[in-house]
Amino acid sequence: MEAFPYDAAELPQLAIPVAQTLEGFLDLRWIALDDEHAEVRFAVRDALRQPLGLLHGGVYSAVAETIASVATVRAVWPDGFTASGLRNSAQFLRPVTDGSVRVSARCRHRDDREWLWSHEFHDDRQRLCAIVDVTIAVRRPR
């Protein structure tokens, strides 16, 4: 499988190398990525936990925000648009303490102003642990 998700030919010139950003810190492994779906896996480690030992709730939001943004920017950039997050709404269903987390993202809706993505987080036992819905605004750069 080819490298995901950054193909220098199709993405905007980045201001900061990904490895130095929060996206790099999350250390996502991209499994799939197109205009309709995305799939990502990441490992639970102390730096993503809160002090009581659970995966930090903010990680779910940050991972979903990353997936929705990357997938939308990648799709709209070639047509001269940019994208930025409007809304990020997470529901936590079951704590995760160890192992890896698999995230499946699906584009629920798109129109000329907004793309809506829904993300489901599963633990290593295939249990649904969180749902995060993200709205990305699509706009022509000023």
What amino acid positions are annotated as catalytic residues?
Answer: 65
Name which position in 2, 8, 79, 111 contacts a copy of itself (CB under 8 A).
111
Task: Calculate ∠ Cα 58-133-130, nearest 5°.
Answer: 55
Which range touches a copy of itself (CB under 8 A), out of 28-36, 62-70, 98-106? Answer: 62-70
123: contact with a copy of itself by CB under 8 A:
no
72: contact with a copy of itself by CB under 8 A:
no
Do 107 and 37 touch, CB atoms closer than 8 A? yes
Size of the site for a copy of itself (CB under 8 A): 53
Among positions 18-57, residues that touch a copy of itself (CB under 8 A) are 18, 20-23, 25, 46-54, 56-57
> Which tokens is 113 given?
């102003």
Residue 104's DSSP bridge partners are 39, 120
Which range touches a copy of itself (CB under 8 A), out of 27-35, 36-44, 93-101? Answer: 93-101
Do 35 and 117 touch, CB atoms closer than 8 A? no
Task: Calculate ∠ Cα 26-27-30, nearest 5°.
Answer: 115
CA 20 to chain centre: 17
Residues that bind a copy of itself (CB under 8 A): 12, 14-18, 20-23, 25, 46-54, 56-66, 69, 84-95, 108-109, 111, 114, 116, 128, 131, 133, 135
